[in-house]
Amino acid sequence: MNLVSLKKLGDVRGALIAVEQNSDIDFDIKRVYYMYNTEPGVRRGFHAHKKLRQLAIPVSGKCTFLLDDGHTKESITLDNPELGLLIEPMVWHEMYDYSKDCVLVVLASDHYDEDDYIRDYETFKRLILK
Ligand code: TYD
């Protein structure tokens, strides 16, 4: 599991975390997006990326990731804003069990590009086995 430990800079006033390119993450951040107010029971994702690299940080609440590299499936619950999950290319991922207060921030290595998505699981498996 590719977890990145993020340094907490808080003091008595509360917590603060800064994520910096080239120290905390080894890719250029070209896009930031976040998911929040996810409805109960929703499962989303269901894709892999051809080239995109991402770091997902649960800044509030929790959610669970299923990660599948085509050989092994693992699941992990993200519930700590001090730990980010690296989602590398060619990893099928699904997200579920979002808590009501979940805010999931994702730092991405590139702009949104639908051509970088593999949204069909059988296609993903075929590409992995190539
Ligand atoms: P979608 O890929 O379905 O989200 P998920 O895979 O996490 O379930 O994205 C929902 C919509 O938002 C879809 O129409 C694509 C669009 N979108 C963007 O325009 N830019 C982005 O950076 C992302 C992540 C999604």
Tens-place pLDDT, residues 11-39: 999 999 999 998 889 999 999 999 999 99
pLDDT tens sequence across 33-49: 999 999 999 999 999 99
Pick from 65, 56, 6: which is nearest to 32 by CA? 56
Name the phi and psi angles at 59, rounded to 5. Answer: -70, -20
Check whether 1 has a pLDDT greater than 80.
Answer: no
pLDDT of residue 10: 86
Q: What pTM value is reported for the model?
A: 0.96
The atom of ligand 1 lying closest to the CA of 114 is: 15
Instruction: Provide Rg for the chain, Cα atoms.
Output: 15
pLDDT of residue 112: 98
Q: Is 70's C-beta closer than 6 angstroms to any atom of ligand 1?
A: no
Q: Is 96's C-beta closer than 6 angstroms to any atom of ligand 1?
A: no
Which residues form the catalytic set?
47
Q: Whose CA is nearest to atom 19 of ligand 1?
A: 112
- Specify whether the CB–CB gap between 70 and 128 falls below 8 A: yes
* Cα separation, 93 vs 18, whole angstroms: 26
